[in-house]
A and B are shown apart, each in its own frame.
Chain A
Amino acid sequence: MASNLIKLTRRHHPVNAPTALSKLSEIVAETGTLTDEDIRGVAADYRLPEASVYGIATFYDDLIAPRGERHVRICTGTACFEAGDADSAQRICDGLGVGIGEVSDDGSVSVAETVCLGFCHSSPAVRDNDVIDAGPGVIERVIEGTTVEAGEPPMRSLLAEPVLTQPGTWAGLRRALAELTPEDLLQVEMKAADLRGRGGAAFPAGNKWEFARNAPGEQKYIVANGDEGDPGSYIDKYLMEQSPELLLEGLALAGYAVGSDQGFVLVRSEYPQSTIILREAVEQAEAENLLGDNILGSDFSFSVTIVEGAGSYVVGEETALLACLQGLRGTVSARPPFPAERGVYEEPTVVNNIETLCNVPFIAAQGAEAFCNLSPGDSAGSKLVCFNSSFVNPGMVEVPFGLTVRELCEEVAGGLKDGAQIKAVQIGGPLGGILPASLLDTPFDFGPLAEVGCMVGHGSILAFDQTTDMRALAQHLLRFGAHESCGKCFPCRIGLQRAYELFSDDEPIDRESLEQLLETLELGSLCAHGSGMPAPIRSLLLHFPDELGLR
């Protein structure tokens, strides 16, 4: 993003006021589409260049797909790919008499695709205005106009004392304000706890906080990354909707340690309930003086603003997230500068994943040692994992690190339904490798998974059964990858399109060309989207070469 535009945005925009992007989303929700006059109007109201607002309006999925009175969005996430028939989208289109990306002539109904609605425990899922329906019969209900709210996933903890699966009590913030200096919270508890980021990169959260704390600048910000776009994952959705107090407490603790009085949660628009619930939780916490000015009578003040995204996977990348938070095109920026030096409105900013922040109240309340003792292995703390609807017991489970993937799949989740056999599992989202059944004894932990080309990632475990067509899976993943590329760096922008095209016809694929393309993506891409999309394709090349139609 061009540098003066950021300054211009900041000049005319109070920090926690709605952005031009929020306004554009609002117009689409109300009128179904954006006209040039709408774009000029928003540019004038927000004192932004018309071209810049046009650029924003053409970036986000929510702003592009025209809407009828009834807007039907079909989930095309990987869990829905595995659960659905290849023609389910077509059946909906035929049944409603309107194609994908179209509105019926009378404006009554429109259909679009979306990834992912976070109902992977009962795929396939479809969003009908703000009702998300999922599971067997959903296609028929959509066509008949009788959709119902799908049930939330079951949740349980394998830990003697659950950390992430019980409601927040604000005990960590109370202890910190009464007993710990910000420096103590950072050094004695957070850094000692070695809490690693749960969003995929596994970077130590305490180090991020320290960078931002030490960065020059009066105003600092804490941003919770609620853009859990990884298809197959609904962990952050669960936390935002079922334990919003834990997240808000974690944000406030980060603010206390770093020296920030303002936090944000950027919530993806595919999770409409999360935004509503978080806003209510912020109001409640303010009413109880757990957020706001002089929290619990202390000198510490901290506010939280909830911001909604507009449909873009790459916005989960931290620099793109900050661009979206400021209402701009959600494209990735080269680092340095890192957000810790120059983030929201060019001020030092911490960006943490939702689950990462939800661990902080436990660490603040019970200390680093208690946190480290939660798991027997190398990694501290616990992890939420979630299973897709292929399993006998789909849903969310809080587990210690170190169980094998087989134990998780077969004992915790009960194996696959109807006696089906696991062919492979994908862990942690579309940028994670694919683990074949022969390697299910790999421990579920950062190091061992990395050794077999996989990752903990977001913690989703998505099973493919014996009927899964691996070439179709590769095509599905690359279609997603190409569609979601932000378009900034050339390897990802063009390379993922070419990779998708290679898998999109019945022609044999030249293995050498494919491998060279994967190398270019891995070594050349600007962010983890382009460099990570090859991981599952590499796994398929390694473990299922005969099924890919190579030459």
Chain B
Amino acid sequence: MQVMIDGKAVEVEPGTTLLEAIQGNGGHVASLCYDERLDPFGACRVCMVGVEGAPGPLPSCTTLCREGMEISTSDETALRVAAAVVELVLSELPEAPGEHTALAVVAKQLNVTRTRWTGAVHEKDEDLRHPYLAFRHELCISCGRCVRACDEVQGAFALTVTGRGFYSNVTAGVDSGFAESSCVSCGACADTCPTDAIVELRLLELAIEQNGSGE
């Protein structure tokens, strides 16, 4: 079937999502919960695009292409909603995300430089019990990428989303840390995390820590 992306006609297979069609043709849409190795999730609502005739912007990761669809990646309303969502995400973190993180990159792409929102932020909760994987819960934005990577890629089922609403987070096992869970230390969670909430402790850092010169 044929769809139009930013005015250009493109052939796609039935079942293709808007995001796949856009990316497959050299386009770009910012997103936070999407990882091409995982099933589309539709949680972050950042990958919004305009579709001619639709009542509002649509999430490109979970919307399927239909014959003749006219898709715009520069739709003003879609970009405004995406930027507003990222501004909300920045407001839940107690500190700004590291520059190299996917979250910081997406914020920059959408020109979100600050957040106007004050109010509750995630409490600092650093878990360093595992030798290779550090978990900083306060940086978690509940995108579920780590949980899904653990389920869909590794099949270890070591992670879960916890709580609900604003107080959702992610944890391993029975909130028992990676070491006391079914984690196999594959690192898929750290690899996909867009905020450094889960990071692999580099061997060097580990060595310093073990030599007793760490803080």
In the complex, the answer to whether A487 meets B148 with C-beta atoms within 8 Å is no
In the complex, the answer to whether B88 meets A490 with C-beta atoms within 8 Å is yes
In the complex, the answer to whether A51 meets B171 with C-beta atoms within 8 Å is yes
Chain A residues lying within 8 Å of B174, measured Cβ to Cβ, are 36, 39-40, 50-51, 53-54
A493 within 8 A of B: yes
Among A334, A488, A491, chain B packs the most CB atoms within 10 A around the CB of A488
B97 within 8 A of A: no
Question: What is the minimal beta-carbon distance from B110 to any residue of chain A, in angstroms?
Answer: 13
- Picked from B32, B119, B151, B171, the residue with its CB within 8 Å of the CB of A54 is B171
Binary interface profile of B, 143-185, with partner A (CB < 8 Å = 1, else 0)? 0100110111001011111111111100111111000011000
In the complex, the answer to whether A4 meets B165 with C-beta atoms within 8 Å is no
A497 within 8 A of B: yes
Question: What is the minimal beta-carbon distance from B64 to any residue of chain A, in angstroms?
Answer: 6
Query: In the complex, A397 Cα to B173 Cα: how many Å?
Result: 50
B56 within 8 A of A: yes
A284 within 8 A of B: no
Query: In the complex, A244 Cα to B80 Cα: how many Å?
Result: 48
Return the chain B residue nearest A59 by Cβ: B164
In the complex, the answer to whether A58 meets B162 with C-beta atoms within 8 Å is yes
Chain A residues lying within 8 Å of B172, measured Cβ to Cβ, are 51
A538 within 8 A of B: no
Chain B residues lying within 8 Å of A82, measured Cβ to Cβ, are none
A3 within 8 A of B: yes
In the complex, the answer to whether A523 meets B57 with C-beta atoms within 8 Å is yes
In the complex, the answer to whether A491 meets B162 with C-beta atoms within 8 Å is no
In the complex, the answer to whether A55 meets B161 with C-beta atoms within 8 Å is yes
Chain B residues lying within 8 Å of A489, measured Cβ to Cβ, are 42-45
Return the chain A residue nearest B172 by Cβ: A51
Chain B residues lying within 8 Å of A526, measured Cβ to Cβ, are 42-43, 45
In the complex, the answer to whether B119 meets A501 with C-beta atoms within 8 Å is yes
In the complex, the answer to whether B41 meets A334 with C-beta atoms within 8 Å is yes
A184 within 8 A of B: no
In the complex, the answer to whether B151 meets A2 with C-beta atoms within 8 Å is yes
Binary interface profile of A, 466-510, with partner B (CB < 8 Å = 1, else 0)? 000000000000000011111111110111111001000000000
Chain A residues lying within 8 Å of B165, measured Cβ to Cβ, are 482-487, 493, 496-497
In the complex, the answer to whether B81 meets A4 with C-beta atoms within 8 Å is no
Chain A residues lying within 8 Å of B118, measured Cβ to Cβ, are 501
Question: What is the minimal beta-carbon distance from A313 to any residue of chain B, in angstroms?
Answer: 10
**In the complex with contacts A50-B173, A495-B88, A487-B164 CB distance below 8 A:** yes
Chain A residues lying within 8 Å of B181, measured Cβ to Cβ, are 50-51
Query: In the complex, A3 Cα to B142 Cα: how many Å?
Result: 17
In the complex, the answer to whether A490 meets B85 with C-beta atoms within 8 Å is yes
Return the chain B residue nearest A497 by Cβ: B166
B96 within 8 A of A: no
In the complex, the answer to whether B91 meets A498 with C-beta atoms within 8 Å is yes
Return the chain A residue nearest B92 by Cβ: A494
In the complex, the answer to whether A5 meets B88 with C-beta atoms within 8 Å is no
Binary interface profile of A, 510-530, with partner B (CB < 8 Å = 1, else 0)? 000100110110111110000
In the complex, the answer to whether B157 meets A51 with C-beta atoms within 8 Å is yes
Question: What is the minimal beta-carbon distance from B172 to any residue of chain A, in angstroms?
Answer: 6
Chain B: residues with Cβ within 8 Å of the partner, total of: 58
B1 within 8 A of A: no
Return the chain A residue nearest B148 by Cβ: A2
In the complex, the answer to whether A487 meets B163 with C-beta atoms within 8 Å is yes
Query: In the complex, A485 Cα to B92 Cα: how many Å?
Result: 15
Query: In the complex, A8 Cα to B147 Cα: how many Å?
Result: 15
Chain A residues lying within 8 Å of B159, measured Cβ to Cβ, are 51
In the complex, the answer to whether A54 meets B48 with C-beta atoms within 8 Å is no
Query: In the complex, A36 Cα to B190 Cα: how many Å?
Result: 26
Query: In the complex, A5 Cα to B158 Cα: how many Å?
Result: 11
- Picked from A51, A335, A486, A494, the residue with its CB within 8 Å of the CB of B160 is A51
In the complex, the answer to whether A4 meets B151 with C-beta atoms within 8 Å is yes
B72 within 8 A of A: no
A52 within 8 A of B: yes
In the complex, the answer to whether A490 meets B182 with C-beta atoms within 8 Å is no
A336 within 8 A of B: yes
A49 within 8 A of B: yes
**In the complex with contacts A5-B151, A334-B40, A334-B41, A520-B81 CB distance below 8 A:** yes
A426 within 8 A of B: no
Binary interface profile of B, 27-64, with partner A (CB < 8 Å = 1, else 0)? 00000100000011111111010000000110100101
In the complex, the answer to whether B161 meets A487 with C-beta atoms within 8 Å is yes
B84 within 8 A of A: yes
Binary interface profile of B, 119-138, with partner A (CB < 8 Å = 1, else 0)? 11000000000000000000
A539 within 8 A of B: no
Query: In the complex, A3 Cα to B147 Cα: how many Å?
Result: 11
A25 within 8 A of B: no
In the complex, the answer to whether B88 meets A334 with C-beta atoms within 8 Å is no
In the complex, the answer to whether A485 meets B164 with C-beta atoms within 8 Å is yes
Chain B residues lying within 8 Å of A496, measured Cβ to Cβ, are 165-166
B89 within 8 A of A: yes
In the complex, the answer to whether B173 meets A55 with C-beta atoms within 8 Å is no
Chain B residues lying within 8 Å of A483, measured Cβ to Cβ, are 165
Query: In the complex, A525 Cα to B42 Cα: how many Å?
Result: 10
Question: What is the minimal beta-carbon distance from A45 to any residue of chain B, in angstroms?
Answer: 15
B100 within 8 A of A: no
Q: Which residues, 431 to 488 on A, are CB-close (under 8 Å) to B?
A: 482-488
In the complex, the answer to whether A487 meets B168 with C-beta atoms within 8 Å is yes
A312 within 8 A of B: yes
Query: In the complex, A496 Cα to B117 Cα: how many Å?
Result: 12
Chain B residues lying within 8 Å of A497, measured Cβ to Cβ, are 119-120, 165-166
Pairs A–B under 8 Å by Cβ, sample size 21: A4-B152, A40-B174, A49-B160, A51-B159, A51-B171, A54-B173, A335-B62, A336-B62, A482-B166, A485-B164, A489-B42, A490-B45, A490-B142, A493-B142, A498-B117, A498-B119, A519-B80, A519-B81, A520-B81, A520-B84, A522-B56
Instruction: Give chain B's interface residues, CB within 8 Å of chain A.
Output: 32, 39-46, 48, 56-57, 59, 62, 64, 77, 80-81, 84-85, 88-89, 91-92, 116-120, 141-142, 144, 147-148, 150-152, 155, 157-168, 171-176, 181-182
The 9 nearest A-B residue pairs measured at CB: A334-B42, A55-B160, A49-B157, A487-B168, A2-B151, A485-B165, A497-B166, A51-B160, A501-B119
